[in-house]
Amino acid sequence: MSANIAEMERRRAAAALGGGQKRIDAQHAKGKLTARERLDVLLDEGSFEELDTYVEHNCTDFGMENQKVPGDGVVTGSGTINGRLVYVFSQDFTVFGGSLSERHAEKIMKVMDNAMKVGAPVIGLNDSGGARIQEGVASLGGYAEVFQRNVLASGVVPQISLIMGPCAGGAVYSPAMTDFIFMVKDSSYMFVTGPDVVKTVTNEVVTQEELGGAITHTTKSSVADNAFENDIEALLAARDFFDYLPENNRSGVPVRPTSDPYDRAEPSLDTLIPPNANQPYDMHELIRKTVDEGDFFEVQPAHAANIICGFGRIEGRTIGIVANQPLVLAGVLDINSSKKAARFVRFCDAFVNSDRHLRRRPGFLPGSGARNIMASSSMARSCSSLMPRQRCPRSR
């Protein structure tokens, strides 16, 4: 019996150490946290319940049978964020570059299955070179199973991805199917394939940053929603963001007690919109003065800034906000802004009880003349969906 316990302790210590102290030091030297350190920041203290700590890969090719690390490069389980349940996986770059083996995939699949069973969001912390090369097609099959669950969970439970290292192949395709993607500047990348392969195949010379860095994906491609300075900032933002989201598509939006009265007068709004339609104003100001306590979480702020999308609260309840921004391109709608808004509205449609919330729009009108209509209608719509019209004085 004591031998068994000693063996378990040995494996537990090995799981905690991942790919070893040298690789942990290398991770820290790049300004990155380890998989477990990230979960410590993301989740409420002491709330993490780990699953499958001792799972190892089953590959016997290329000498892999002699290279096993308990946990196999991903830490999985559940925990809470400000008391609300969430399922998580956190890939460990120190173990085979966080690459996905068949067993690694099974651990992620279990977390996603459990999340869908109980109706809780999934947050993935991605730091992975993609399919584990040594396993070949078994690893690709693992990705197929993960992708299938991304599809099944879509519109059922919120899925959030944090890209926290150089992610390639499947480690990018799966997050791309999730609802929101956060990246870390200068240490996270999303590639279909890296610069070396691009050079070989097309002769194009491109840097990692240009090909798939946080700035590229949050400004040009719009694959990612928000970019943060470092791991901690990204994880803390994910905690804040999580507070706005419902647990699933049947739970309704979360309600947070607020000391900001619904009938708070905001006299500055009377003069915010200039009488001259050619004169711009900052829609952010209108939003912040309208929502509870000025709290607004904007998504994709650096892409198609002529439209603003994000979450706030009115009377403690989450609302999705879509608003033209007269300060950028006079607030006109173009393809990028339309796609940005459509994607956001689609999420709200599924999760934020949007039948009355987001569909009662007057229509997108191209051109600067539409901005005031859009601005006021989207704010009024947000309020009117959740409370009787006369109880929304802030957005009059």
Residues of this chain that interact with ligand HXC (CB under 6 A) are 96-97, 99, 129-133, 140, 143-144, 166, 168-170, 194
Residue 194 beta carbon to ligand HXC: minimum distance, rounded to whole angstroms: 5
| DSSP 8-state class, residue 44 | P
Residue 74 beta carbon to ligand HXC: minimum distance, rounded to whole angstroms: 13
Of 143 and 182, CB closest to ligand HXC: 143
Residue 121 beta carbon to ligand HXC: minimum distance, rounded to whole angstroms: 24
Residue 33 beta carbon to ligand HXC: minimum distance, rounded to whole angstroms: 15
Vertex 94 angle, CA 97 and 20, to 5°: 145
Beta strands in 127-261 (DSSP E): 159-163, 166-168, 180-184, 189-191, 226-228
Residue 303 phi, psi (nearest 5): -120, 135
Of 130 and 246, CB closest to ligand HXC: 130
Of 79 and 165, CB closest to ligand HXC: 165
Cα–Cα distance, 205 to 74 (Å, whole number) = 33
Of 194 and 252, CB closest to ligand HXC: 194
How large is the C-alpha radius of gyration of the chain?
23
Of 170 and 312, CB closest to ligand HXC: 170
Look at residue 63 and give its three-state secondary structure.
Answer: coil
Residue 95 beta carbon to ligand HXC: minimum distance, rounded to whole angstroms: 8
Residue 196 beta carbon to ligand HXC: minimum distance, rounded to whole angstroms: 7
Give 259-306 as a DSSP string: SS-TT---TTHHHHS-SSTTS---HHHHHHHHSGGG--EEESTTSSTT
Task: Say if CB 130 and CB 97 are below 8 A apart.
Answer: no
Of 186 and 266, CB closest to ligand HXC: 186
Residue 368 beta carbon to ligand HXC: minimum distance, rounded to whole angstroms: 44
Cα–Cα distance, 133 to 137 (Å, whole number) = 9
Of 169 and 326, CB closest to ligand HXC: 169
Residue 204 to residues 149, 252, 329: CA-CA distances in angstroms? 35, 48, 32
Cα dihedral across residues 113, 128, 227, 370: positive or negative: negative
